[in-house]
Amino acid sequence: MESNEDFKELIIPKIKEATKTLITNNHSRVNLSDFSEIKHKKTGNYYSFYNKIYANKYLEYFNDEENTDFLIFENNEVYIDYNDNLFTFHKVDEQEKILEIDLDNQEIKDPNNIKEENLENEIDSKTDLITLSYFPLCLSHCNITLCYEQDLPQVLSSELILQFLNIYQIIKNPSLICGYDSLGGGCEINHLHFEFFMLDDFNNEISNLPIENFDNKLLFETQLKHKNKDEISMFDGTTLIKVYLIKEPFFTWKIECILGQEKANMEISTIDNLYQNSIAHITNLILSKLIDNGIAHNLILTHQGTIFYLVPRKFEKKEHKFNTCWNDLAGLITCKEESVYDNISEEEINNFFKDEVCLDENIFNDLNNNIIKLVDSVYEIKQY
């Protein structure tokens, strides 16, 4: 694919076709061929969404005491071994499978063509699978399961972040938004996956995410130059990483990668490698601390993967009247009941986030200070 339009021309008809033909059941995408069942509106600085069919299915499913397909986070764990007895992306209906891609090699495969060419071959272990979202905000909203056949749990590493960032070489659409939920952070399927959609689906009504407008303060910046000059650097030493702190309505690190002017004439692939290695590394340093401390989190990727929003947060509770997945924390709020949607206010959303999402201030401050000390112990940094 050479342009974002090529990708949308490929994927959108497949989504429409799959949506129309998919058999409706408690775990499947239902018929939303014209997406008329999804409503949205501006709510102060946020956008509120209500999906009637999703809401009914959600309430029905999670009120079923015999439901054992999804994870129940009684122990507030962010790492659980992959378990094929639970629901995984191996169990989705065939109609839900939209595309097979190879992120490592930045290639798109057509599942239908693959099956026609070689019916006996199984999916390659490096294949990444795009499937329909169960709870879509818009037409292009999909899941992407990394290394589909390797059965990886929902835990990120620097290498896996790097692999996923190649999505920006496949979907070259500047409005592409990607997100990730940890266990306890809105994720119910312990099979490594991200989600994505394109803001241009909203016909310029939503041009950027509300989280991008939250007040922030610069914490530190670094070019990842080792303090120990004997260390072999994996980075070019000129790509700048800036880490900002957002305090309200919940603590968030904004991680931004900036390339210097000297990169202007470089090959695009070289530039991609420079920023991807740097932003994946610094993000993974923070993620490792969150995982070690058992803290749920969400990750939001914008601006072609050059800006990350990383949210450490309280564990999600199913009785909440709003969702608290990555897109909700980005400011696109999914309401579980129509009455909530009809009466929602910006103040109510802010209070909800502060009470039910925002990490305890003392816990966050200790965590934040330890992360800065960790980076400062290895790399030259400038603190603010």
- Contact 359/296 with Cβ under 8 angstroms? no
* Cα–Cα distance measured from residue 61 to residue 67, given in angstroms and rounded to the nearest whole number: 7
pLDDT at 117: 42
pLDDT at 118: 41
> Cβ contacts of residue 162 below 8 Å, gap of 6+?
276, 277, 280
In sequence order, what are the beta bridge partners of 379?
226
pLDDT at 47: 97
* Cα–Cα distance measured from residue 28 to residue 135, given in angstroms and rounded to the nearest whole number: 10
> Cβ contacts of residue 198 below 8 Å, gap of 6+?
4, 8, 138, 140, 171, 173, 175, 176, 177
pTM of the model: 0.90
pLDDT at 116: 44
Q: Which amino acid is at 107?
A: E
- Contact 49/354 with Cβ under 8 angstroms? no
Enter the tokens of residue 22.
Answer: 């998919």
* Domain 4-383 falls under CATH 3.30.428.70: yes
Q: Maximum distance among all alpha carbons in the chain?
A: 62
To the nearest 10 degrees (0 to 180), the angle between helices 268-292 and 361-378 is 130
* Cα–Cα distance measured from residue 47 to residue 211, given in angstroms and rounded to the nearest whole number: 11
Can you list the pairs that 100-103 forms with residues at least 24 positions away whose Cβ atoms lie under 8 Å? 100/127, 100/128, 100/129, 100/130, 100/148, 101/127, 101/128, 101/129, 101/130, 101/144, 101/170, 102/126, 102/127, 102/128, 103/128, 103/146, 103/163, 103/164, 103/166, 103/167, 103/170
> Cβ contacts of residue 235 below 8 Å, gap of 6+?
223, 224, 225, 274, 277, 278, 281
pLDDT at 267: 52
Locate the domains of the chain by residue range: 4-383
pLDDT at 31: 46
> Cβ contacts of residue 248 below 8 Å, gap of 6+?
214, 215, 350, 354
Triad 103, 99, 165: Cα angle to 5°: 25
pLDDT by 10s per residue, the chain, length 384: 444 457 888 888 888 877 776 645 444 444 454 566 788 999 999 999 998 766 565 556 555 555 556 555 555 789 999 988 888 999 888 878 899 999 998 888 765 554 444 444 455 567 899 998 878 898 899 999 999 999 999 999 999 999 999 999 899 899 999 999 999 999 988 999 999 999 999 988 998 999 999 999 999 999 999 998 877 777 777 789 999 999 999 999 999 998 765 555 555 555 556 678 899 999 999 999 999 999 999 999 999 999 999 999 999 887 778 889 999 999 999 998 889 999 999 999 999 999 999 999 999 999 999 999 999 999 999 999
